[in-house]
Structure 1
């Protein structure tokens, strides 16, 4: 038996496969980490110069940072960024960090240490966005697609609007990064819902940018808002920084995508009989809402009808009360599909549709901390371990047949491109 391991929460799960099963490990191209990321970030900011961003003593700067569901290395990004802002003239008391939660639950002050170094928490004002708090939202217009451009008022009214994040594949947005941290992370619920309702359109998919309607709608909202500066990184499979990009958000995206495309696009000769995938461990598997993203990429490597195993701890449960509530009376993927086609697009339940798209004609097993009952309500097959899931799959077919197997240890950041 050949031994393997795959990320699970903050640890790993080990399992073995029969020696006669052909196995391929699909993961991002390895790139060595920058030797001194803080020095490189500082240099990238200094190359921008001061004149374009300098302001007076009363000028305000607001930075959109990611919440706990994103593995953004704020401990590297924020210290040089904040130092640079003060250097170009922004007073510390006029700098605010807003946690870009999108429609996720706002982060509590006692959780800030999960994403921001303690020293920064003490010295700078940090608040969490709330997409439902209409008093703290402002509408600035509409995109050509009809998406209302509603944004956090504090961010919109700042003299300098900055976004921080990482660039990696996104299942229907094409790529994370750039103005997405503000448009979606600091947007109002209706703005996010309208934008995400385009996820079934032609062109909406991983690693697509110029022709992606969802992403281009976000870019248009970013122009309406007027995001001045993006500081983004590309990370390797060990969550280490390999490249830094700073400046105009559109230029940052174009340069960053070139680097990211090389790392995250993985060619395959043909599809597989079994695909085993993990989002990449914590925080990408913090809940099912996030862990689902690995399924979309895994399905691109699977033969029609081939089983898939999703390994995600889901330590914080499903991650979306509306999604969980919507699923209460659903008993099949066909029912999900039919309901979604006849109902108005809703955030939360859209995750059910995304899972159904990849699971409707195949068995999908979930290895997690969720109860078996909860997993079944999500129309997935519960398994206590990867090994148990493999055993269940062997029992459903001819155990003497070798299964060509793909393992995606970093499924969220691995986009297979079949040659067939």
Structure 2
């Protein structure tokens, strides 16, 4: 079989193992532009052209390179809708929702936004303004967002370790946000609360905090999509909470797969853009081990072919993740220490350490084996070398976008 690897695939041969493949049912792909146009014309709540005034300065927050959102299409559809309200293109700033990830390059911005790349600005978490609070924690966003008359966003509703599903207000309050809210929502106390888990939106304290922060910012309209296997399945627009609920339902139907029992090894496909660095690729490991059903036997392993051309990752969050893991002697000690708190970005080290207490993680085929080994994980040249002969193996071809239940 072949599994995703960067923009291509890699061959995986497990002839001496018992292999089960966990492929979700998927859904019927739609044309992203047509789906987005329909969603904007029939949103959850008022149309954007009814919310906006001709004199408004607009901040459109979009996703960054870590999410495969068709932002060029979504931005174009939103700008067309704003034009119907009398808002000129030069009244719009497109803010790249980096959170604590690295800035996007000019080439990446051009590829992501096409003809609208000239409107784009990289988010800088040091250029933020406080606009409110949630649970006593300041909510601060980039000055272009704080100063806008109208705040809108794009987003990808896909499985997320903490929010249940990403998208909605998260693009704005995390993507365009500052350290205090990220520290609060991604801290050990929040991540340990019941209800904060992959695939859960209702009664999820993380999601509730993000949505409340979106209210403080004034993000009342978003255009989101959901996908499977690189294909867009649906789009929804309007009030962010309703958009997430709508698309999470579609995604859950398409991406959930029942898995009985547990396995010696789980081989997890990732591919671009998530396998560019270890910070993102490690999501496949934690999504499986810490999800609704852990398919890995105690002492078993998750094996992930990942390119890792960016090593651990270049952003502030990625570097904090690397620093925590590379300085640790073992997962248990690191987990116990991080339970007392950490800087934003290090939450991925916390959940990786938590998962490593239950299973090993092997990264194969990578361009950064030394980085992997430094981070308490293991490396092999190929998937076959990372799986012991005779193992009972589960293969999840698209592990980050599959809900194992």
Paired residue for 2:356? 359
Paired residue for 1:298? 288
Q: Which runs of 5+ in 2 are unaligned?
A: none
Work out which of the two has the higher radius of gyration on C-alpha atoms and give 1 or 2: 1
Pairwise mapping of residues 127-206 of structure 1 onto structure 2 (< 5 A)?
127-131=121-125, 133=126, 136-144=127-135, 146-197=136-187, 198-206=190-198
Aligned-partner SS, 2:191: coil
Shift of 1:252: 0.8
Once superposed, what is the RMSD of the aligned Cα atoms?
1.8
Deviations 1:304-325 (A, max 9, x none): 2212212221111101222222
TM norm structure 1: 0.89
Aligned residues: 392
Does 2:23 correspond to 1:52? no
Indicate how the Cα distance of structure 1 residues 106 and 376 shifts in structure 2: closer, same or farther if over 3 A, else same.
Answer: same
Shift of 1:10: 1.4
Paired residue for 2:335? 337
Q: 1:31 aligns with which of 6, 27, 34?
A: 27
Structure 1 stretches of 4+ moved >4 Å: 48-51
Paired residue for 1:207? 199
Q: Which runs of 5+ in 1 are unaligned?
A: 395-401
Does 2:30 correspond to 1:42? no
In structure 1, C-alpha distance between the alignment counterparts of 2:162 and 2:172, rounded to whole Å? 17
Indicate how the Cα distance of structure 1 residues 38 and 403 shifts in structure 2: closer, same or farther if over 3 A, else same.
Answer: same
TM norm structure 2: 0.92
Does 2:331 correspond to 1:318? no
Q: 2:383 aligns with which of 382, 386, 405?
A: 386
Does 2:222 correspond to 1:234? no
In structure 2, C-alpha distance between the alignment counterparts of 1:361 and 1:253, rounded to whole Å? 31
Does structure 1 conserve the Cα–Cα contact (< 8 Å) formed by 2:32 and 2:70? no
Indicate how the Cα distance of structure 1 residues 306 and 227 shifts in structure 2: closer, same or farther if over 3 A, else same.
Answer: same
In structure 2, C-alpha distance between the alignment counterparts of 1:51 and 1:380, rounded to whole Å? 50
Paired residue for 2:110? 113
In structure 1, C-alpha distance between the alignment counterparts of 2:260 and 2:74, rounded to whole Å? 38
Does structure 2 conserve the Cα–Cα contact (< 8 Å) formed by 1:32 and 1:236? no
Shift of 1:110: 4.1
In structure 2, C-alpha distance between the alignment counterparts of 1:179 and 1:363, rounded to whole Å? 34
Paired residue for 2:244? 253
